[in-house]
Amino acid sequence: MMKRILLKLSGEAIKAQSQNNYDPDFMDMLAQKIVGLTKEGIQVGIVVGWWNLYRWITGTEIGITRATGDSMGMVGTIMNWLAMADFLNQRGGDAIVLSAIEIPRICGFFRRSAALHHFHQWRIVICVAGTGNPYFSTDTGAVQRALELECDMIIKATKVDGIYDSDPANNSQALKYPTISHQQVIEDNLRIMDLTAVAMAKDNNLPMFVCKITDIARLASQDLSFWTLVQSQII
């Protein structure tokens, strides 16, 4: 039974279909669903990416180093979730933003003990700035935070409803995996997350659940049969 989850969202998720960096209607809908999970008794932690604001791949093409680009990305995650925290609070949630880099006038500094305290107060704990170090993806940071905060599983919310053997957008015959092992994800290079993150989850027996972002409210049912469950061993 899920009591505490870590929700991993991409920066592109909060952009949705908008031509701008943010889609306020989508963010409001997402906030309602996340607050709904807390009202059903699930403690929610969140890690978000930054690719709606900045892509280091593009940055290197114009002369920005990877390390600098990743630092820009960390700041981007803070911008994203200061905005999202506002939507969550407007919808009746109690969201707190904790950063891996110190910006004391903007948000709190991440400490494990503080984050666990906020969970016990039924706050939505938003972890930003990744691990605080360049060259580590927000996927890896999400798995790290899920382990530190003793989450039952990590939820990767995407545009599709699970893991497929090929891209369902390009292949109508693509087959969805109901369950799959971390090892197979790595061996088949199924890039649902950064492979470093998947390996870390595997080494620590952390289940991962890949679902469609618009359907996250269904997590309250505790039924994981309709998306893809990633675990160390397939039963």
Q: Give pLDDT tens digits for 60-108.
A: 666 788 888 888 888 888 888 888 899 999 999 999 999 999 999 999 9
Residue 65 pLDDT: 85
206 phi and psi, to 5 degrees?
-95, 115
Top-confidence residue, 56 or 233: 233
- Looking at the predicted structure, is the pLDDT value of residue 168 above 80? yes
Are residues 27 and 15 in contact, defined by beta-carbon separation less than 8 angstroms?
no
Between residues 81 and 216, which one has the greater pLDDT?
A: 216
pLDDT tens readout for residues 109-130: 999 999 999 999 999 999 999 8
Decide if pLDDT at 50 tops 70.
no
The predicted pLDDT at position 55 comes to 54
Helix, strand, coil content of the chain in percent (nearest 5): 40, 20, 40
Alpha-helix residue ranges (DSSP H) falling in 91-152: 112-120, 138-148
The CA–CA distances, whole Å, from 22 to 6, 48, 50, 108, 177 equal 22, 13, 11, 23, 31
Question: Which of 26-35, 57-66, 163-172 is predicted with the least confidence, judged by mean pLDDT?
Answer: 57-66
Q: Is residue 16 predicted with pLDDT exceeding 60?
A: no
- The pLDDT score that the predictor gives to residue 169 is 84
Quote the percentage of the chain above a pLDDT of 90. Answer: 56
pTM of the model: 0.90
Grade residue 235 by pLDDT with cuts at 50, 70 and 90: low
Q: In what order do the strands lie in the sheet with 108-109?
A: 108-109, 95-99, 124-128, 43-48, 4-9, 153-158, 208-212, 228-231, 179-181
Q: In the structure, what pLDDT confidence band is assigned to residue 11 with cuts at 50, 70 and 90?
A: low
Q: Could you report the per-residue pLDDT of 180-199, keeping only the tens digit for each?
A: 999 999 999 988 888 999 99
Residue 185, amino acid: V
**pLDDT at residue 41, as a whole number:** 95
Q: Are 9 and 26 in contact (CB under 8 A)?
A: no
Mean pLDDT of 204-219: 92
Give the chain's mean pLDDT.
88
CATH superfamily of domain region 4-231 = Acetylglutamate kinase-like (3.40.1160.10)
Please determine, for residue 52, whether its predicted confidence score (pLDDT) is greater than 50. no
Q: How many CB atoms lie within 10 A of CB 147?
A: 17
Q: How much is the pLDDT for 37?
A: 96
d(CA 28, CA 10) in angstroms, rounded, equals 16
